[in-house]
Structure 1
């Protein structure tokens, strides 16, 4: 979740190249089909390498057209896109962190595929939050590519040892805190086991794991335009207080305050944490003998939601092979790709109508995760990276004061967040 936007330099390049790239025009179908098989180029960031490689391999083995995939280090990805856009050398297809898709659509880097999407029989089942962020002025530019959701994991063995029911995870944030505290009190005396854990010095970690509790309570963290912060309102401050109290009780592990992101998911698989928010994609990476429960993130008194992260994918506005590119993209969200490639490997599906399938039905936890795609949210803000992910940005300062410091500073810091969003 440690996403970074390359700031003004990136957006400046994109703005300069917008006219050159254009909007792609209509459905992008004006280019005559090429004679014979076509090889299209695709870029993706390393964070989604595994899923992208699986999809490309399956497509290439079953289609005459082919896809040549290039995987770029995640931290270098956005500068690389900016440079390619400036040189008019974008690949035919490129994926992007869904949070930053609005930046690309607003600068005209993706081709308009509205009519093509409308013709898909399952168009209404495509991940709604990804589709929303890929829409600009009523036109559609991207499809969901990979999804990663925030959920609560609990360690059933630790629950049993602490006298908790191992089959009953938390249904509210208050229950989450109570169960984490019980784990800490009963099992934490040796310093090896802790009630919970989170990335306390990581802006992206906070938004991924704390904001769903606000949404579950029926509230928002920003206005719809992504220009005004609501992180000083009771829904958010109530969530902060729960984690503040857990930290004060020493139930969060000794390094939570310093955790900057790279290792925040590494403690749960070691059997050291009772219950904590985790990325859904880590479920398949857990030790095979570990008994893990999965439940939606809830608000203080109930409800459920999730941060729908991951990547969206679109055809570049300068692609010379839009028909071949669309053949590949539409195939990636087909029944065959979603079930036989994604579901088979326990990945979250891009379609809500396939949440329960022959593979996911083998594990109720996977069905639950898939079902949350329809209930979760992906926040929209053109200045998301600078405001919320940048370690020097105003959001991290607010979150750290609310959890570890002086909550009285939150209103002023929230004003700084709004100023950043409006720059």
Structure 2
């Protein structure tokens, strides 16, 4: 979500690769209709390697067919997919950052699995945001693979020292600002503790942490087909104003304005931040002795939402083993895989009906995070990467003016966002 190859480059590579597609039979790991055990190939990006590997290992231990996983560096993943598509050398299965799935479905890289999904008894419980982005022209092409949600973490020890109730985190963005300010005023004199922190020079960070406050307030950041930006009006401008005030009052960490993404989650685990938006997947890696509260991201006056990130997974359109590939995919969202593999390792489950399971029930924070899957959103836009994630894209310029610079420029800069979305 936070460091991606600019999608305009990836899209160009994909288009060129697809244009180069010629005749010939699709590649596969074995002949179709083989009577013996089949090995299906799978690619995933390094960012989701741990979860993918756990699922593959568990499947391989209990099934005759096997899955061979290849992990590709995240920054190289999109060009590798594009090159493989052009050469008709895609693996049988490949995962993709959910935000880019519409680019792949619209280019015909995934196999249509609508009828297979319809037979799953839990089809209506599959993570709705992932399923929406995996749907193209009313046909379904992917399943949820991994999920990462944005939530608010607060440090209970710092809250107690600052005179706040350590068991009561923020329920509105205004309360978030008030509590962060209190931590700063009470504990920030030595410069080691700060009220809050965010990635101020990272387009994906703004998307992941600010946009849920807009949704929680009942607003939108784009129109439904991702071609018109709404970030130049409330509630987005209200959210900007609150964070701008925190920065101007010195409540944010000193490197907030320069933070480009790679290290933005590193300060909270050190016990230096009172309250801040964080990826849900970092909960399990926090220091064992740190007392952490978790709350949904709220709008200025309430509500709750989250950015549902992570990966979706599908069968490549050129796979010679679609049945064997589907056996793994369907198993990966089964009760066994979701509870005994994902939930057991404190990963967010891909099904809303398993939010409260035997592992998550031991930690109310995990139950809360799982419950947000049904309430969160994953925005849809074919030009998402070049518009919102590219460091040279129009969104980052707009967000930085709104928070650190001349907020009166937001309206004119929004026109650049629209132009990018409509290219």
Same fold? TM cut 0.5: yes
Deviation beyond 6 Å, 4+ runs, structure 1: none
* TM norm structure 1: 0.96
Q: Deviations over 1:296-346 (max 9, x none)?
A: 000000000000000000000000000000000000000000000000000
Matched residues in 1 for 2:3 and 2:136: separation? 22
Offset of residue 204 of structure 1: 0.2
CA contact (8 A) 2:4 2:74 kept: no
Task: Tell me how many residue pairs correspond in the alignment.
Answer: 415
- Indicate the residue corresponding to 1:412 in structure 2: 412
**Superposed CA RMSD:** 1.3
What's the CA shift for 1:419? Answer: 0.5
Relative to structure 1, the CA distance from residue 51 to residue 267 in structure 2 (aligned partners, 3 Å threshold; closer, same or farther) is: same
Q: Is the 8 A contact 1:21 1:318 kept in 2?
A: no
Residue matched to 1:107: 107
Q: Distance in 1 between matches of 2:161 and 2:400?
A: 32
Show CA shifts across 1:368-417 (max 9, x none). 00000000000000010000000000000000000001100000001100
1:154–1:293: 8 Å Cα contact kept in structure 2? Answer: yes
| 1:36 Cα offset (Å) | 1.1
Q: Do structure 1's residue 117 and structure 2's residue 113 form an aligned pair?
A: no
2:75 is the alignment partner of 1:88 = no
> Equivalents in 1 of 2:12, 2:219: separation in Å?
34
Change (3 A) 1:117 1:287: same
**How much has 1:2 moved relative to structure 2?**
2.1
Give 3-state SS (helix, strand or coil) of 1:110's partner: coil
Residue 318 of structure 2 corresponds to which residue in structure 1? Answer: 318
How far apart are the structure 1 equivalents of 2:10 and 2:403?
32
Aligned to 1:303: 303
Work out whether residues 221 and 231 of structure 1, in 8 Å CA contact, stay in contact via their aligned partners in 2: yes
Judging changes above 3 Å, is the alpha-carbon distance between structure 1 residues 307 and 317 closer, same or farther for their aligned structure 2 residues? same
Find the counterpart in structure 2 of residue 77 from structure 1: 77
| Aligned counterpart, 1:210 | 210
Alignment match, 1:27 = none
Q: Does 1:44 align with 2:44?
A: yes
CA–CA distance in structure 2, aligned partners of residues 361 and 202 of structure 1: 35
Q: Which residue of 1 aligns with 2:180?
A: 180
Distance in 1, Cα, partners of 2:223 & 2:253: 34
In structure 2, what is the Cα distance between the partners aligned to 1:84 and 1:395?
31
Output the CA distance in 1 between the equivalents of 2:6 and 2:260.
19
State whether residues 96 and 312 of structure 2, in contact with CA within 8 Å, keep that contact through their aligned partners in structure 1.
yes
Contact residue 6 and residue 78 of structure 1 kept, 8 A = no
SS for the counterpart of 2:90 is coil
Aligned to 1:253: 253
Number of the residue aligned with 1:359: 359
Q: Distance in 1 between matches of 2:139 and 2:16?
A: 22
Task: After superposition, give the CA deviation of every residue in 1:185-234 in whole Å (9 maximum; x if it has no partner).
Answer: 00000000000000000000000000000000000000001000000011
Check 1:121–1:95 CA distance in 2 against 1; reply closer, same or farther (3 A cut). Answer: same
Aligned to 2:237: 237
Aligned counterparts of 2:8 and 2:355: Cα–Cα separation in 1: 39
Number of the residue aligned with 1:169: 169
Which residue number corresponds to residue 422 of structure 2?
A: 422
Q: TM-score, normalised by structure 2?
A: 0.96
